[in-house]
Amino acid sequence: MNERIFAALADPTRRDLLANLAENSPKTATQLTEDYPITRQGILKHLHILEGAGLVAVHQKGREKRYTLTLEPLSDIDEWIKKISAKWDERLQRLKILLENEATGL
């Protein structure tokens, strides 16, 4: 699992930027600045971290850079969470059976 992805997602502003891009892609840093109480430079810093984690892609159009959400890293995280969840479901099911057997004296 890529540590950069988790580090990028740890910040609430970056998570919000991803949600914004999911609904309104592509957007420039200037357009994103209109939605946040942060400077354009601050937005660019967050976008750079998201790009480094592979969570956003940058497309040059003339002089503008447009940012879009990249879903693949999020799919990888979703698969990882599903695997962890399945293991816990299995353990909880075994615990349930054990407790039910003790309660019925088996």
What three-state secondary structure class fits 91?
helix
Quick: pLDDT tens for 32-84.
Answer: 999 999 999 999 999 999 999 999 999 998 899 999 999 888 887 888 888 88
∠13-8-3 over CA atoms, to 5°? 160
pLDDT recorded at residue 75: 80
On the question of pLDDT at 12 being above 90, the answer is: yes
* 59 Cβ neighbours under 8 A, 6+ residues apart: 26, 65, 66, 67, 68
pLDDT score at 106: 63
Residue 96 confidence (pLDDT) above 90 = no
% of residues, the chain, pLDDT over 90 = 56
Domain boundaries defined on the chain: 1-70, 71-106
17 contacts 70 by C-beta, under 8 angstroms: no
User: Has residue 1 got a pLDDT over 80?
Assistant: no
* CATH 1.10.10.10 given to domain 1-70: yes
CA distance 62 to 54: 23
Q: Cα–Cα distance between 48 and 58 in angstroms, integer?
A: 10
What pLDDT is attached to residue 103? 83
Residue 102's pLDDT is 85
